[in-house]
Structure 1
Amino acid sequence: MRWSQAHVPTLREDPAEAEAVSHRLLVRAGYVRQLTAGHYSLLPLAVRVRAKIIDVVRSEMDAVGGQEMLLPALHPAEPWRRSGRWELMGQEMFRLRDRRGAELALGMTHEEIFATVARELGSYRSLPQRWYQFQTKFRDEPRPKGGLMRTREFTMKDAYSFDIDRAGLDASFAAFHGAYTRIFERLGLPVLAVEASSGTVGGSDSVEFMCPAEAGEDRVAHSPACGYAANIERATSKLPEVTDAPGPPAPEPFDTPGVRTIDDLATGHGAPADRQIKTLVYVLDERPALVLLRGDHPLNEQKLVDATGATAVRAAAAEEIRGWLGALPGSLGAVGVTDLPVIADEALRGRRDMFTGANRDDVHLRGVDVERDIRVGAWADLREVAEGEPCPRCGEPLRILRAIEVGRIVKLGDRYARALGAEVPDADGRQVPLVMGSYGIGVERAMAAIVEIHHDDRGVVWPLAVAPYQVVIVVAQTDDEATARAGEALYRDLLAAGVETIIDDRPERAGVKFRDAELTGIPCRVTVGRRGLAEGAADVTRRSTGESEKVALDEVVGHIRRLLG
């Protein structure tokens, strides 16, 4: 390819709207352009990178017995209704009707649709089956951001395993786990495999592959000492044991005028936050419930969702709360409440002599014994862990890292197979539902994550495996016949040797070409100029290190091939 004919619209300045490094550099280096919020056009260089990422993923899917398919992106409502996710997906699902009035959706994911294909499996003898595709997904993100990291339209490699039993699922899950580890290593992405919530996809075990990066939207609790890692939505810690005094025989009310927060009660009334019971009011599937935590512990809403199975969760409004409890936030408690369900965090189990609201404005209670005074309907791990808390495995301090989720694997079980009728006869002739696993990688998000990890102050620094071209030849003086001829000869020789090469033959100053070569991140630059040509040599520069060396013209091809491995 000739740069003079290529569409590589580089920019000298950062785009104003870009915050993440990958967003800024992919726009500046001419890889992507935004059409509208959450929708990006991939330009020629990005398409080449995307194809290479797909090639890496495809080779590892094939290596674990994957068979590639391509299923529709436009889905009828019926399979989604059968699985129960038509309502569960809520506003993030793009929905429409065709000219006959039939309800349709743009696919957010494909568990239901792959399960319909699996209905044709005729026997346990054909198992395991491992199927995958590269398909466009659509999600109506309320706040798309970060360039390619959170969009409304993106390519996902989604794979699904089908087994006869849980032991088979475990084997498939392990195979995909290994494949993902190899994929991210080949892509140059350092990842942590972390425990995670299964979210709306359901299932049991869920592992996310997280790439630590400041631009990441996820937070991961990690112990460098033992390797424990979990998404903040799933993470736990080992809290120190607490021994409380017995306290009074019954809760004692006391006036707390103007107290509205945990800190107010702690500073003005001698009630440390770790001895307070924080009462939150949530509406779970349109039903109110009280959620209790220790005063110094924040709630993680995903943990509440996982604990209750609720599909619609929101914090109650102040006037709703007054109607149910008779007081406004700041004076709320669960003592004596019998007509609303109460869900309590495990850190409150067994606690005595505690403080909480009295459900009367400006009044609190002291001496509360949780077991004696509160009718707890369910206990669950609801609190969000914090930096420095002891690891649940080794007890060493946890670190909280920002990270980008680049892949996820989930043990789905037989939920979708039962809903969609994907069954086979087992060895005894009984019809049994297939046991499924789900395995996803976002292709464009992986591209962005690679840039987040591999860049410097001059631009992108692509790993060789995914670079759009391996070599750029910079002809320093295109108006010099001998220099142009030498550059053309090297270009032809590198192409003949199987090296992916682009020649910058533009009538621009050498400095402009150098800046663009660095900005776009091509791993190796060969500079052909009058001065080097007089010595029968070219300059070979490695993008990753910036190191340059003079190489004789007749040795450049061999030198490049050695550099590329």
Structure 2
Amino acid sequence: MRLSRYFLPVLKETPREAQIVSHRYMLQAGMIKQASAGIYSWLPLGFKVLRKIEDIVHEEQARAGHIAIQMPTIQSADLWRESGRYDAYGEEMLRIKDRGGREMLFTPTAEELVTDIFRAHVTSYKDLPLTLYQIQWKFRDEVRPRFGVMRGREFYMKDGYNFDLTKEDALHAYNRHLVSYLRTYERMGLQAIPMRADSGPIGGDDTHEFLVLADTGESEVFYDSEITDLKFGDREIDYDDQAACQAVLEEFTSRYARTDETHDQALFDAIPEDRKRTARGIEVGQIFYFGTKYSESMGALVDDGKGNKVPVHMGSHGIGVSRLLGAIIEASHDDKGIIWPEGVTPFHCGIVNLKTGDAEADAACEALYASLTALGLEPLYDDRDERAGAKFGTMDMIGLPWRITVGPRGLKNGVVELTSRRTGESEELPPEEAVAKIAKIYEGIA
């Protein structure tokens, strides 16, 4: 993409309404624009990152054997009355009526709706196990929406739901989701720590939430520092292997890690003093096992193969797709702007022409652009007739991981400058070697 043809409304001034780094930088980098309190339009750069995150989530859900569907954003209140949650959910639920006076609601979560789908089509244990998921817009009417996409009213979320014959099978689904989420977050350049959590209005006794450590996190967290040394890495896990999934769960949850909601001071005190840590954390996902809470109340029954009709065991699993943008920025930035991990960057690298209009510099930039594009990479070429400082400032703010700088002086020596946004380190290379190095960096990134 040529920046002269792209819509990138970068702000020069710091937005006064932005209280945290991610909100400020998303506004300054031209990623979002507020439409009303807690509701945002996603501009091209922000939309590209949102889609990158969504693609990773879809790929990892498919790897785990889960099946995508799409449910509506508007639900009937009658379904929620069946489960008993309509009156209990609270004022965060946006309740509305259609022109016929029927009570409806804007989806905050979809346990009832997906259970209704299941009970209409699945009647036998032979069709189990089954996990359905969607990535869809949700709405929760926050009293004080703040922090940009971190705590907005409208948000983009992956919500998944497993249906299993027995509790044992459902707990395997729980473990499978935990493993899947670990891989998902690492692909985004994040270390998301699973922590024992409170189930809230979803219900159930078994639940873990995933938190990214950041100074601006809303939750206080207490943890054993050993947990931050754990990496999922490139290990291959057979998601049907219950023992393997259980082993990963135990590896990542055996060390103490809790939010202030479930913190146990006695357990924390048992950790060696040099490993005790307190910090702030941002929640980016949560998994639940809630048994037959919805299947019993809504009649989601299957034949168990022994002539009995039994309620299925269920769980739900969420990832805050839009919230993840804010979390990534909170975890990866400096005083110049965003620093995108390679897995979610909107463009693979930037090309900066220091002297637009110079025949040699223009030709070299065009050749770099063509070479990178031919390799399946997506560069952002700053071909604007702007001073060099403005071009560097834009590239730093939008946070592309790599930048190739082209100028007449370097070209006289047959080189361009390749710079890492994360470290700030630069090296001079022939143009073809710079292209090869960028291609090599992204070679192992799915």
Alignment match, 1:483: 361
Normalization by structure 2: what TM-score?
0.90
SS in structure 2 opposite 1:96? strand
Cα offset for 1:80? 0.5
Cα offset for 1:93? 0.6
What per-residue deviation string (whole Å, max 9, x for no partner) do you get for residues 296-333 of structure 1? Answer: xxxxxxxxxxxxxxxxxxxxxxxxxxxxxxxxxxxxxx
Is 1:136 equivalent to 2:164 in the alignment? no
Aligned partners of 1:26, 1:211: CA distance in 2, in Å?
A: 18
Aligned partners of 1:401, 1:552: CA distance in 2, in Å?
A: 45
Residues 531 and 395 (structure 1), Cα distance of their counterparts in 2 relative to 1, 3 Å cut = closer
Q: Is the 8 A contact 1:215 1:402 kept in 2?
A: yes
What number of residue pairs does the alignment pair up? 414
Residues 531 and 92 (structure 1), Cα distance of their counterparts in 2 relative to 1, 3 Å cut = same
Alignment of 1:317-356 (within 5 A): none
Aligned partners of 2:176, 2:137: CA distance in 1, in Å?
A: 25
Which structure's residues are more often helix, by fraction? 2
Alignment match, 1:35: 35
Is 1:198 equivalent to 2:226 in the alignment? no
Cα offset for 1:429? 1.7
Q: Which amino acid aligns with 2:371?
A: D
Alignment match, 2:352: 474
Choose 1 or 2 for highest CA Rg. Answer: 1
SS in structure 2 opposite 1:526? strand
Structure 1: gaps (5+ residues): 239-389
- Provide the alpha-carbon RMSD of the alignment: 1.5
Alignment match, 1:229: 257
SS in structure 2 opposite 1:159? strand
Alignment match, 2:11: 11
SS in structure 2 opposite 1:391? helix
Alignment match, 1:145: 146
Aligned partners of 2:437, 2:285: CA distance in 1, in Å?
A: 37
Is 1:497 equivalent to 2:367 in the alignment? no
Aligned partners of 1:423, 1:525: CA distance in 2, in Å?
A: 57
Aligned partners of 1:107, 1:553: CA distance in 2, in Å?
A: 51
Cα offset for 1:559? 2.4
Identical positions, percent: 42
Alignment of 1:291-440 (within 5 A): 391=268, 394=271, 399-440=277-318
Alignment match, 1:315: none
Q: Which amino acid aligns with 1:91?
A: E
Cα offset for 1:13? 2.4
Cα offset for 1:400? 3.5
Aligned partners of 2:213, 2:432: CA distance in 1, in Å?
A: 43
Q: Which amino acid aligns with 1:83?
A: S
Alignment match, 2:412: 534
Alignment match, 1:87: 87
Q: Is the 8 A contact 1:474 1:505 kept in 2?
A: yes
Q: Which amino acid aligns with 1:151?
A: G
Aligned partners of 2:436, 2:192: CA distance in 1, in Å?
A: 34
Q: Is the 8 A contact 1:66 1:131 kept in 2?
A: yes
SS in structure 2 opposite 1:465? coil
What per-residue deviation string (whole Å, max 9, x for no partner) do you get for residues 1-46 of structure 1? Answer: 1101111111222211111111111111111111111011111111
Normalization by structure 1: what TM-score?
0.71
Residues 547 and 223 (structure 1), Cα distance of their counterparts in 2 relative to 1, 3 Å cut = closer
Aligned partners of 2:82, 2:272: CA distance in 1, in Å?
A: 45
What per-residue deviation string (whole Å, max 9, x for no partner) do you get for residues 91-120 of structure 1? Answer: 111111111100000000000001011111
Q: Which amino acid aligns with 1:186?
A: R
Cα offset for 1:548? 1.1
Cα offset for 1:452? 0.5
Q: Which amino acid aligns with 1:551?
A: L
Aligned partners of 2:194, 2:270: CA distance in 1, in Å?
A: 16
Q: Is the 8 A contact 1:497 1:557 kept in 2?
A: no
Q: 2:338 aligns with which of 451, 460, 468?
A: 460
Q: Is the 8 A contact 1:161 1:438 kept in 2?
A: yes
Alignment match, 1:155: 156
